[in-house]
């Protein structure tokens, strides 16, 4: 078996472009440049965020025990690829390790980005599913099928999402009427405004305790942030999201 180090040297010897890229990586800071090339920027953390900042008019959608010691706020866009990757790959483990175990509860807030033309419809689809008690089921379906209904795939996302509504057992006619009337536009706007008030400018962004982290996280990272927040002393008069 050829070791990774030997393979790297061989690739550099066989391809002058690889050699040039490696030299540039060293000149421009190594790890950071390679992270840029990979297209996976590292999460950016802001500390000393007020964990007791009360919600304005936003409600979001909550999963987990009401008495969980830590709250996670997630600001996401249904059409955001990084949000989709987090939801499909990482979130199932977060639910098992952190939410189902009672360590934390999570509240999801819509943060639709203007470049994603179908994301508002997706937020409506999820909100209208919530009217029938199935927000999280629709949430999961939307992220799993993101490439089937996103802006690049179709100009009629509702026709795709209708299949999700059927699959999760909604009253489809009622759901579709809700979506097409934009019944929850005000709620979606309020969720985004809450993110803007907290200076969110990237999706996904998480608020865990007194830290705000922009960028997708692994389940190990979220568990570590939750454990840290559990160990921090609580300020009196907690008025966080509910």
The predicted pLDDT at position 45 comes to 72
Work out the angle between the directed axes of helices 16-27 and 31-38 (0-180°, nearest 10): 130
The answer to whether 119 and 79 have CB atoms below 8 angstroms apart is yes
Backbone dihedral region of 45: left (phi > 0), alpha (psi from -120 to 50 degrees) or beta?
A: beta
Name the residue with higher pLDDT: 2 or 192.
Answer: 192
Domain annotation covers residue 214: yes
How many helices (DSSP H) and strands (DSSP E) are in the chain? 12, 6
Q: Are strands 211-214 and 44-46 parallel, antiparallel or unpaired?
A: antiparallel
Q: How far apart are CA 81 and CA 150, in angstroms?
A: 10
- Asked whether residue 18 falls in the same domain as residue 90, the answer is no
Name the residue with higher pLDDT: 12 or 196.
Answer: 196
Looking up residue 195, the CATH number of its domain turns out to be 3.40.30.10
- The partner residues of 107 in beta bridges, in order of sequence, read 62, 73
The predicted pLDDT at position 115 comes to 95
- pLDDT tens, residue by residue, 126-173: 999 999 999 999 999 999 999 999 999 999 999 999 999 999 999 999
- Asked whether residue 27 falls in the same domain as residue 144, the answer is no
- Asked whether residue 132 falls in the same domain as residue 206, the answer is yes
- Asked whether residue 32 falls in the same domain as residue 124, the answer is no
Cβ atoms within 10 Å of 132's Cβ, excluding its own: 17
3-state secondary structure of 44: strand
Domain annotation covers residue 68: yes
The answer to whether 238 and 52 have CB atoms below 8 angstroms apart is yes
pLDDT band at 56 (very low <50, low <70, confident <90, very high): low
* Residue bearing tokens 């866009």: 77
Domain annotation covers residue 53: yes
Secondary structure letter of residue 148 according to DSSP: H
What is the four-CA torsion angle of 16, 18, 23, 29, rounded to 10 degrees?
A: 170
Cβ atoms within 10 Å of 34's Cβ, excluding its own: 15
- pLDDT tens, residue by residue, 172-225: 999 999 999 999 999 999 999 999 999 999 999 999 989 999 999 999 999 999
pLDDT exceeds cutoff 90 at 47: no
Looking at the structure of the chain, the number of domains it has is: 2
The answer to whether 241 and 66 have CB atoms below 8 angstroms apart is no
- pLDDT tens, residue by residue, 15-30: 444 444 444 444 444 4
Domain that holds residue 13: 4-38
Q: How far apart are CA 15 and CA 228, in angstroms?
A: 46
- Asked whether residue 14 falls in the same domain as residue 101, the answer is no
- The partner residues of 208 in beta bridges, in order of sequence, read 72, 211
Of 225, 237, 203, 212, give the one whose Cα is nearest residue 86: 203
Burial class (CB in 10 A: 0-12, 13-18, 19+), 103: buried
- Asked whether residue 26 falls in the same domain as residue 117, the answer is no
pLDDT exceeds cutoff 80 at 229: yes
Model pTM above 0.85: no
**b vs e for 4-19, b when ≥16 Cβ sit within 10 Å of the residue's Cβ?**
eeeeeeeebeeeeeee
- Asked whether residue 215 falls in the same domain as residue 201, the answer is yes
Whole-angstrom distance between the N-terminal and C-terminal Cα of the chain? 55
The predicted pLDDT at position 43 comes to 76
- pLDDT tens, residue by residue, 86-115: 999 999 999 999 999 999 999 999 999 999
């Amino acid at each position: 078996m050829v070791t990774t180090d030997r393979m790297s040297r061989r690739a550099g010897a066989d391809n002058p472009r690889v050699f040039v890229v490696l030299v540039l990586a060293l000149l421009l800071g190594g790890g950071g440049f390679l992270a840029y090339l990979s297209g996976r920027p590292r999460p950016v953390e802001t500390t000393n965020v007020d964990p007791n900042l009360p919600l304005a008019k936003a409600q979001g959608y909550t999963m987990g025990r009401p008495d969980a010691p830590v709250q996670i706020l997630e600001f996401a866009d249904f059409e955001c690829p990084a949000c989709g990757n987090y939801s499909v790959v990482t979130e199932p483990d977060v639910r098992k390790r952190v939410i189902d175990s009672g360590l934390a509860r999570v509240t999801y807030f819509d943060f639709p980005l203007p470049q994603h033309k179908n994301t508002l419809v997706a937020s409506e689809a999820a909100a209208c599913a919530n009217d029938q008690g199935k927000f999280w089921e629709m949430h999961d379906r939307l992220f799993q099928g993101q490439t089937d209904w996103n802006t690049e795939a179709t100009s009629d996302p509702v026709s795709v999402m209708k299949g999700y509504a059927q699959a999760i057992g909604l009253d489809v006619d009622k759901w579709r009427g809700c979506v097409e009337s934009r019944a929850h536009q005000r709620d979606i706007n309020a969720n985004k405004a809450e993110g803007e008030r907290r200076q969110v400018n990237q999706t996904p962004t998480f608020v865990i305790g007194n830290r705000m982290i922009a960028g997708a996280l692994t389940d190990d990272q979220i568990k570590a942030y939750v454990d840290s927040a559990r160990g921090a002393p609580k300020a009196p008069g907690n008025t966080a999201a509910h």
